[in-house]
Every structure is written in structure tokens, then in C-alpha cells.
């Protein structure tokens, strides 16, 4: 499939950029979904060290509290289950102050066939629909940007949005479902930025991918052979959490154009310093992005609200 280049002011970032280059974030607030482990926790630690107040939005409050204890800085823990739209609404309804940065980080990968509380295929329901609803419900509070963690998996095979049946009923394949959910992340970012621009909002929507990073995400893969191969790959090839979190931190703090897509600059985008990267043609189609947005509104019952917060 053809590749397109993310719109931007250049195609490479500073090859030496790392978390020590974060600006002073004193007075700023960030919400990180799934911030209790992996690159989410690493990003939380870096943002808090830079002065931000970091909210870990997690399913398990006990695990979230244990994670917060590893963060040096200002934190709080709030419950959020992205596989339950009632939980998403409860989280958003409890938010009552400006929010500078929303990082849609949580996700599940190549699970056995399952359903969310509302009956959606779990990977599409969690990785896309949960974050779609959360972002739209929080948007009146967001002042700066939304960063959504996608994946190079959006290019796998003939990845596409199965509009006739996003749940892949009777034809479920864990890899296919994961690729669809990650393609949805990029299309969501594209359409969100279009709507923000049209509304005259200063808020920016960006997407990132961490390259090949060793996290516990791979441990839930349905296929035991694939799981074993990932264990080997994690030890021999993958980056650690600190490197994997750099694209997220770069997108969260640097002056990048809306709809930018950030990933590692190394061979195959597997590892390296954060830079602007390309995305597939399927992930760049504005008509598909609009169609997905409409479907997502119908499935979640959460509609676009053009009234957004003003930057301080």
C-alpha cells in the first residue's frame, strides 16, 4: 500500500532529542490513559519530573496507586475502563477543570475474541471507541493537545475499517482486529484535527507510535507461538520503555502541526529518536476518516461538540 507523508515542517526531528529536553511543564495538567505500566507510566514519570500534574486514568485503582508511587512529582489516580462506555462517561463527568494534555495511551493487542460491556469487539471498542468517546467528552476542557498512541500495525496486510461489521462477527482474527483498531486511531486523529481547525480551536490532535517496544502489551496475544516469538523479540530487538515513550513525549511537548504522526527514526521505524513519519494511504483518506467518525458517534452515542476550551 502506498505511503503518504504526514503534513509538517520537516520530516526529521533532532536525532539526539530525549526526555531531558522537555520544557518546564509547571502548572500544566495531563491525563494519561493506561498510565500504570509500560510507556504510559514512563511518560507519566517524565512529565511529572518536568513539573506537570499527571492523572493516571486506569482500570485498577490499586495498581494505579502502586504506579503513582513510582512517579516523582504531582499525581493523582482516577478510575477509567475504556471497555465500558459508562465508565468513560463517569470519568468525563467528574472532570471539572482545564486539561492541557490528553494522552490516549491505553490499549489491548491481538486478544482472543472478546466483547466490551456494550458488546463491541474488544480491540476496536477499547483502542478506538473508548478513546473516541473520552476525547469528545473531555474536549470542552482541553486547552492544548490530544495525543493518541497508534501503531505501525495500521499497515498490516490489507488493513481497513470493516464498516459493515467492525466486530468481525464470525470471521474474527486477532491480528486483523488489532490492525483495524490502530488504523482507526490514525483516522480519528485526522478527522479530529479537521474538526478542530474548522471550529477555530487552538487544540491540536497528534498521533504517535512507539516502534518495537518491550511492554506487557504483547503478553496477552492469543497465539502462544506468536507470544513466544514476541518474548524473544522483546529481549533481542525491542527498545525499552524509556525509548518507546519518546514519541509520546515529543508529540506532547514540541511545536508540531496538527495531525502530525510521530515515530522512531530508525530502520523500519522499529527504534530510534522521535521524528515525523509517514502513514499508509488508508490512514490518510479524509472520506474514510469522516465515515468512521459518523459511525463512532452512532456506536458510542457521543457526538462532536464544537465548543472547546480556549488556551490560557
Which overall architecture, per CATH, does domain 3-297 show? Answer: 3-Layer(aba) Sandwich (3.40)
- Render pLDDT for 122-173 as a digit per residue (tens, 0 to 9): 999 999 999 999 999 999 999 999 999 999 999 998 899 999 999 999 999 9
Query: Residue 16 has what pLDDT?
Result: 76
Q: Which of 178, 212, 250, 261 is catalytic?
A: 178
| C-alpha pair distances (Å), 286 with each of 11, 63, 290 | 21, 39, 6
| C-alpha pair distances (Å), 14 with each of 49, 149, 248 | 21, 21, 15
Of residues 308 and 84, the one with the higher pLDDT is 84
What's the whole-number average pLDDT of the chain?
A: 89
Looking at the chain, the whole-number percentage of residues with pLDDT higher than 90 is 79
What pLDDT band is residue 194 in, cutting at 50, 70 and 90?
very high
Residue 300 has pLDDT above 80, yes or no: yes
Cα 51 to Cα 22: distance, rounded to the nearest angstrom = 10
The stretch 256-275 carries a mean pLDDT of 94
C-alpha 126, offset from chain centre: 11
- Render pLDDT for 57-70 as a digit per residue (tens, 0 to 9): 999 999 999 999 99
What pLDDT band is residue 266 in, cutting at 50, 70 and 90?
confident
- Render pLDDT for 4-39 as a digit per residue (tens, 0 to 9): 444 433 334 445 798 889 999 999 999 999 999 999
Residue 115 has pLDDT above 90, yes or no: yes
Residue 286 burial (CB < 10 Å; 0-12/13-18/19+)?
exposed
pTM: 0.89
Of residues 221 and 242, the one with the higher pLDDT is 242
To the query of whether residue 178 is one of the catalytic residues in this protein, the response is yes
Amino acid at each position: 500500500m502506498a505511503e503518504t507523508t504526514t503534513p509538517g515542517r520537516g520530516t526529521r526531528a533532532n536525532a539526539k532529542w530525549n526526555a531531558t529536553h522537555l520544557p518546564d511543564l509547571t502548572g500544566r495538567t495531563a491525563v494519561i490513559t493506561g498510565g500504570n505500566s509500560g510507556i504510559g507510566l514512563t511518560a507519566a514519570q517524565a512529565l511529572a519530573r518536568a513539573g506537570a500534574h499527571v492523572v493516571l486514568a486506569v482500570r485498577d485503582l490499586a495498581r494505579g496507586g502502586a504506579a503513582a508511587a513510582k512517579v516523582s512529582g504531582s499525581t493523582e489516580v482516577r478510575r477509567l475502563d475504556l471497555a465500558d462506555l459508562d465508565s468513560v462517561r463517569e470519568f468525563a463527568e467528574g472532570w471539572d477543570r482545564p486539561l492541557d494534555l490528553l494522552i490516549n495511551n491505553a490499549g489491548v493487542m491481538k486478544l482472543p475474541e472478546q466483547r466490551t460491556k456494550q458488546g463491541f469487539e474488544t480491540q476496536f471498542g477499547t483502542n478506538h471507541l473508548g478513546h473516541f468517546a473520552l476525547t469528545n467528552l473531555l474536549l470542552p476542557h482541553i486547552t492544548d493537545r490530544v495525543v493518541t498512541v497508534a501503531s505501525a500495525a495500521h499497515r498490516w496486510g490489507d488493513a481497513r475499517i470493516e464498516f459493515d461489521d467492525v466486530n468481525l462477527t464470525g470471521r474474527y482474527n486477532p491480528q486483523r482486529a488489532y490492525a483495524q483498531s490502530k488504523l482507526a486511531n490514525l483516522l480519528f486523529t485526522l478527522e479530529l484535527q479537521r474538526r478542530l481547525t474548522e471550529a477555530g480551536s487552538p487544540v491540536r490532535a497528534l498521533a504517535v507510535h512507539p516502534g518495537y517496544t518491550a511492554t506487557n502489551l504483547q503478553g496477552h496475544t492469543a497465539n502462544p507461538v506468536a507470544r513466544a516469538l514476541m518474548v524473544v523479540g522483546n529481549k533481542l530487538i525491542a527498545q525499552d520503555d524509556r525509548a518507546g515513550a519518546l514519541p509520546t513525549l515529543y508529540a506532547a511537548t514540541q511545536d508540531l502541526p496538527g495531525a502530525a504522526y510521530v515515530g522512531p527514526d530508525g530502520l523500519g521505524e522499529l527504534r530510534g529518536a522521535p521524528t515525523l513519519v509517514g502513514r499508509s494511504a488508508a490512514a490518510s483518506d479524509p472520506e474514510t476518516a469522516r465515515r468512521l467518525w459518523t459511525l463512532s458517534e452512532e456506536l458510542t452515542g457521543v457526538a462532536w461538540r464544537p465548543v472547546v476550551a480556549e488556551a490560557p
